[in-house]
Structure 1
Amino acid sequence: MSFKNHKLQLVLRILLLAVSIYALSWVGFNPDYRSTFIGLAIFILLQIALLIRLYDRTNKLFLRFLNSIKYDDFTEQFYTSGEGKTLRELSLRLNEVMDKFREVRAEKEAHMQYFEVIVQHIGIGIITLKPDGTILLLNNAAKKLLKVGQLRHVQELQAVSPQLALGLQQLENGEKVLVPVRQGAEQANLSVHVIELSVLGDRIRLASLQNIQSELEEKEMEAWHNLIKVLTHEIMNSVTPIASLSASAYEEVSSYTDTAAEEVTLLREELADIGQCLHTINRRSDGLIYFVNDFRNLTTISVPQLTHFNVTELLQEIKMLLRGQLTAKHVALQLEVPPDSLILSADRAMTEQVLINLVKNAMEAVQDQPEGKVLVRAYHDERSRISIEVTDNGHGMTPEAMAKIFIPFFTTKKSGSGIGLSLSRQIMRLHKGTISVQSELEKGTTFVLRF
């Protein structure tokens, strides 16, 4: 028998059960009504089972609801058609709760995707890891800085920088450190800042990585510029009057010795010696003034006048320009350029100046080699930037020399002012580009220009 009202079913089943129990008690254990007794007992048990089943419907409804929450399965829907108004209302409310859960989860996932996109596109490298070194998150900026793919453990960074791998695990909360990282020909200084968070009771270490190499170079160049300005100003203030006075004194002594009488020959000879000394002072003062003016070039570079020009044509012109020097020093210069044209937007004169300086340095580096070779190669790098390499097969440089090679006045050559590479780096910075060096002893040196 089926009824559409849940309460009516419950009431009728209880009444029927009561009547059946009363009938069973009235029949009793009379042998004459044994079959009736057994039939009533079975009927009562059946009524109890149906009553329990009716009661379990509500329990099963709640159990399905709780399991859906437990296993995050919010696709469950509850239908109780034909079970009465109360169960229909209960099913309706449970479905509303499930809809709310689905809405909250969708909103949560949308926020997670939103923040994940922000983290992946932010310019600062982000690494999150557990205290045991397991990496939870490595954003795109960190991958580009470290030139790695997806990592699972911080120890995998040992190949990039052992100091970085150690610092990510051992830095105290809120501590910052500067980590030098060298990748091929490029030198980078990473500012690493580590903080600790507690997420649902678990400790998480969050590290931010930022390449401040350009900022360090800019501050370094600014400091050198200020120093050069002060030095050249003081030297010029001191040397210029000396040069002027020595020149005037030399002219006066020369005029006197030319017109002096024969009887003052000894005095004339002494004055000639004095004049020669004054002339030497004047000549060396002029040389020092020229030397100081040369250093002033570091602080007076004009703004680049950008034009579009063919890199291959520029390299061929430089080879033609240096052909005589290359022949005299028995150095072979080889150009390696792609078949398609490389059009560079830069100041042509400045770029030519930098390349000539690098090629001349390479020529001097290989002049003691039995077969001196210089290779100039132009190409697009992995970021589609135009890059030019100048490679020699000279004796190479020590790591200490590479660290100082771009410092003004520092030079590894027997003769040289030490401003050529510093000037080249400043020119590249004005072009928003970089110049880097890679060298090994007895294996040669490579300078790389990236525009």
Structure 2
Amino acid sequence: MDRFALGIGWRLTAILLLMGSGVAVYYWLGSGAVLVPIGVVLIGLVVNLYQYVTGINRKLIRFLESVQYADFAVSFRTDNQLGPTFQALNRQFNAVLDAFRQARADKETSLHYVNTIVQHVSVGLLTFDAGGQVELINQTALRLLGIYRLRTLAELDATHPDLTALFWSVTGASGPVVYRMTTDDELSIRGTAVQLRGRRVTIVSIQNIRSELQQRELDAWQNLTKVLRHEIMNSITPIVSLVGTMRDIVDTDLAPTPRAVQSNRIGWSASPSRLLICAMP
């Protein structure tokens, strides 16, 4: 028999003995004055028995409160000496709390992982609730908006007066909405609304399309340059080939023969008198 059953047993025995003693004293003495101290002790034992028996209920209440308020630092082991049933119950309570503790740790790790990804994407992300309270914003969104922090959408009225109304209405748009900044940057804004545990949360993505347009324009010019260079090379190649062929023809067909070269040499070696005669009219 465990100690819990022994505790109940001796308390019940003491109560019965006190009740029997009170009846016997009253029967033999016929005076109720002696029953007063016996009654006080009897009431004390009854209260102690009630608290002893309902201790398991208080433990259940404490366990449920720890789960409700996510207080997983508590531990149940103070009444292990009451018997193996209490030890098994405490082990189960502690195992459940350890499982909740591990689940919360996994959830925090996942949130940290997702937040790290959100902070490193090149697209601005912003979420806010139905009251305009900003719940999440990454560094890209802050950089695109030209601000260093944002707690509520109302804070945008000082720098971007029309942007707050645009954020509220972007969820009903069929496509992205373009917003022109004072710096001539153009922001493409998309939005969608989701229900999270009965709360309406709006998710907005922000992207600078001016830089993308400039990059696409640069890529188009580069592609056009490649095409033109290819066409020009295709046109110049036949010309270069013809020039080479004409050079070969000139070098081969119009070059002086060896006999002509020898005649020229003989003519220049004639006497000066003959050259003089030939020169006279």
Q: Normalization by structure 1: what TM-score?
A: 0.45
Gaps of 5+ in 1: 230-296, 303-451
Which residue in 1 is equivalent to 2:191? Answer: 194
Q: Which amino acid aligns with 1:108?
A: K
Instruction: Check 1:206–1:35 CA distance in 2 against 1; reply closer, same or farther (3 A cut).
Output: same
Alignment of 1:380-395 (within 5 A): none
Q: 2:203 aligns with which of 188, 202, 206?
A: 206
Match of 1:73 in 2: 71
Task: Tell me the amino acid that sits aligned with residue 115 of structure 2.
Answer: E
SS in 2 for 1:123: coil
Tell me the residue number matched to 1:6. 4
Residue 74 of structure 1: how far off its partner (Å): 0.6
With over 3 angstroms needed to count, the CA separation of the structure-2 counterparts of 1:15 and 1:154, relative to structure 1, is: same
User: Match of 1:94?
Assistant: 93
Aligned AA (1:91): N
The residue type paired with residue 15 of structure 2 is L
User: What is the correspondence of 1:152-231 to structure 2 with a 5 Å cutoff?
Assistant: 152-173=151-172, 175=174, 176-183=176-183, 187-218=184-215
Identity %: 27
The CA deviation at 1:64 is 1.9
Cα separation, 2, equivalents of 1:83 and 1:111? 41
The match for 1:83 is 82
| Paired residues of 2:187 and 2:209 also in contact (CA < 8 A) | yes
Secondary structure at 2:182 match in 1: strand
Letter paired with 1:201: G
Q: Give the equivalent residue in structure 2 for 1:44.
A: 42
Of Structure 1 and Structure 2, which has the larger fraction of its residues in strand? 1
Q: 1:222 to 1:77 in 2, by over 3 A?
A: closer
Letter in 2 for 1:177: V
Structure 2 runs not aligned, ≥5 long: 231-281
- 2:119 paired residue number: 120
SS of 1:206 mapped into structure 2: strand
The number of residues matched between the two structures is 228
Q: Superposition pairs for residues 199-348 of structure 1, below 5 Å? A: 199-218=196-215
Output the CA distance in 2 between the equivalents of 1:213 and 1:65. 58
How far 1:218 moved relative to its partner? 4.7
Deviation at residue 52 of structure 1 after TM alignment: 1.4
Instruction: Select the structure with the greater relative contact order (CA < 8 A; seq sep ≥ 6).
Output: 2
CA displacement 1:288-344 (0-9 Å, x = unmatched): xxxxxxxxx9x8699xxxxxxxxxxxxxxxxxxxxxxxxxxxxxxxxxxxxxxxxxx
TM-aligned CA deviation for residue 10 of structure 1 = 0.8
User: 1:173·1:196 contact (CA, 8 Å) conserved in 2?
Assistant: no
Going from structure 1 to structure 2, the CA distance change for 1:197 and 1:174 (only over 3 Å counts) comes to: farther
Query: How much has 1:214 moved relative to structure 2?
Result: 2.7
How far, CA to CA, are the matches of 1:165 and 1:8 in structure 2?
71
- CA shift, 1:85, in A, is 2.1
Instruction: State how far apart, in whole Å, the 2-side matches of 1:30 and 1:38 are.
Output: 16
Q: Could you say which structure has the higher helix fraction?
A: 2
Q: Give 1:372's aligned residue.
A: none
2:19 & 2:186 partners in 1: Cα distance? Answer: 90
| Code of the aligned partner of 1:95 | N
The CA deviation string for residues 233-275 of structure 1, in whole angstroms up to 9 with x for no partner, is: xxxxxxxxxxxxxxxxxxxxxxxxxxxxxxxxxxxxxxxxxxx
**In the alignment, what sits opposite 2:147?**
148
* Paired amino acid for 1:189: E
Deviation at 1:159, TM superposition (A): 4.4
> Distance between the aligned counterparts of 1:133 and 1:34, measured in 2?
75
CA distance, structure 2, for counterparts of residue 301 and residue 153 of structure 1: 54
Q: Could you state the TM-score of these two structures normalised by the residue count of structure 2?
A: 0.70
Q: Secondary structure at the match of 1:149?
A: coil
Aligned-residue RMSD, C-alpha: 3.1
Displacement after TM superposition at 1:172 (Å): 3.2
Greater C-alpha radius of gyration: 2
Q: Corresponding residue for 1:383?
A: none
